[in-house]
Amino acid sequence: MNEYQGHLHFVANNTLTLDKGPSAVVETLPNPADQLGHKHPPVAQPSWKEIAPKLESPEVKLRIADMLSRYPQAQGALLEVLWIAQEALGWVPREAIRWAAGVCGCSPAHAFGVATFYTMYKHAPTGRFLLQFCRNISCHVMGAPDVIGYTEKTLNIKTGGTTPDGLFTLVQVECLGACGNGPVMLVNDEFATDVENGKLTLKPGVGLTPERIDKILKWCYAREAEFKVEPSRDALGGVVNGHKGHSGAPGASAKSQVADYAPPCPILGVKAVASEAGVTLTWKGAPEFTQIAVERLEGSSWKSIGAPGLKDKEFIDATGKAGSEYRMIATSGARVAKPSAVAKAIEKAG
Ligand code: FES
């Protein structure tokens, strides 16, 4: 039998406090975040006066107004507001957290808890290129420790460190959602496992190797001078250029990335039973749709034959008979979901 040795640990990113250092309890426990490089060395905190010009710029105000308009409660926008602060300042100093709390109408303590829970928020300035290496299981078995070790050696820094020229900071993170490319990394907000035609690339099945790390570092050095601004972002703060991750990946936005994307149908288990009264349709549905319609197959095309109420549990097609085929269409707001599975009417048993 194989024997495995190792550690089970959780990322602790919550050892900051607003005004004091870590508590004594936290100090007595090993902090696995140190292993991954998510350290929060004490850094000089800028005053509100210093950061105000960036957080109160017309552009930021516009984005905040847009963001708040998307949520029924301002607090729902907290993650995005913190993200905007990080984008404007490069990290989220304490005063920026207080500002975000004010914008979202929640307590500074709540905003602080949120900002320190997610490792995507930086609590100290980092190098110009933040290299985030996935160290999770798929990347690990595909050689992440080797490429991380190689990069540490090449840059002469340890995980969590920043090169003396301020160009690179190296950290390790949990699954980036691009496991098929393992080992994989993010260079700032862009996935990268290779460089082609002067661009960072993430091609299916192409993972990081020491040779590709060399190419990526070379790309960074070459871009140092011109890479003065963050990659362009959409109104939600998601990266628009060159982003190939799923919508939940770091830097991605909640906007669908496929123009005619339709969500899966929230109506399940459609059944059609024929009797003397016609065909009775029943279904189960998630509550998010705002309108439903029943369609019947006529020849080779679908024809709408009715729109049950949202609370209805059945629909009777008086002209239907055994063998008729039905499907249901759900609409949620302005978005029409994919059609439900097709139900063929069967004779009522006994
Ligand atoms: S395990 Fe590395 S991206 Fe998922």
Task: Confirm or reject: Cβ of 181 under 6 Å from ligand 1.
Answer: no
Tell me which of 156 and 238 has the higher pLDDT. Answer: 156
The span from the CA of 81 to the CA of 79, in Å, is 6
Q: Ligand 1: which of 132, 171, 175 to mutate, judged by most atoms within 8 Å of the beta carbon? A: 175
- Which of 36, 133, 139 has most ligand 1 atoms within 8 Å of its beta carbon, as the pocket-test mutant? 139
Q: What is the C-alpha to C-alpha distance for residues 79 and 74, in angstroms, rounded to an integer? A: 11
Determine whether domain 267-347 maps to CATH 2.30.30.100: no
- Yes or no: say if 311 and 328 are a contact pair by the CB < 8 Å rule: no
For residues 306-331, give the mean pLDDT.
90
User: Is the Cβ atom of 175 under 6 angstroms away from ligand 1?
Assistant: yes
User: Given this model, what pLDDT does residue 260 score?
Assistant: 59
- Contact 176 CB / ligand 1 (< 6 Å): yes
**Least confident range of 114-123, 161-170, 280-289, 306-315:** 280-289
> Which structure tokens are listed for 249?
């990946």
Residue 135's alpha-carbon distances to 110, 143, 149, 192, 261, in angstroms, are 29, 9, 12, 15, 32
Q: Which of 36, 133, 134 gets mutated to test ligand 1 (max ligand atoms within 8 A of its CB)?
A: 134
Beta strands in the chain (DSSP E): 129-134, 168-173, 185-187, 190-192, 194-196, 199-201, 267-275, 278-285, 291-298, 301-306, 314-317, 325-332, 335-336, 343-344, 346-347
Domain 24-117, CATH: 1.10.10.1590
| Rounded Cα–Cα distance for residues 284 and 292 (Å) | 12
279/292 Cα distance (integer angstroms): 18
Could you read off the pLDDT of 129-149 as tens digits, one per residue?
A: 889 999 999 999 999 999 999
Atom of ligand 1 nearest to the CA of 176: 3
- Note the pLDDT of residue 205: 87
Question: Domain 129-223 maps to which CATH number in 1.10.1060.10, 3.40.30.10, 3.40.50.300, 3.60.150.10?
Answer: 3.40.30.10
Domain extents in the chain: 24-117, 129-223, 267-347
For residue 146, the model assigns a pLDDT of 95
| pLDDT value of residue 281 | 94
Q: Measured in angstroms, how far is the CA atom of residue 185 from the centroid of ligand 1?
A: 9
How much is the average pLDDT of 314-323? 93
